[in-house]
Structure 1
């Protein structure tokens, strides 16, 4: 009795979605929207995180603090 069911009916919409997802590379094209999203993820976000890291470097010392001490050094 164990085994695949012969009465299993697959949803045609899900089957089309799975097929499209596996063949996505065939239908994908560069356009202005994709270029902007790629630019933001590859340049703007890492740049902003780098800037914030350099701006706050050495400002916060979390180790060796007591309850009443402030976190910021300057």
Structure 2
């Protein structure tokens, strides 16, 4: 029948992974590598995306042809 099984054996690798993730804040430290990755992901990549967004703003027409539009518009 349905219900909890008394013979359920948990995988030790999954248990170790779960414990590591739930206690990650205890073992994590700022290192030069972590600082550089944080700078890249929170500073460099968003600024590159913002730069290109402002540079190419309004230059492309993404609206497709709709019913009733003439071909001469395209």
TM-score if structure 2 supplies the norm length? 0.78
Superposed CA RMSD: 2.0
> Which residue pairs with 1:49 in the alignment?
49
The change in CA–CA distance for 1:19 and 1:64 in structure 2 (over 3 A counts) is closer
For residue 20 of structure 1, what is the aligned residue in structure 2? 20
Greater fraction helix: 2
Q: Which runs of 4+ in 1 moved over 4 A?
A: 64-68
Separation in 2, partners of 1:41, 1:67 = 44
Higher relative contact order (CA 8 A, sep 6+): 1
Gaps of 5+ in 2: none
* Distance change >3 Å, CA 64–CA 12, structure 1 → 2: closer
Residue correspondences, number: 69
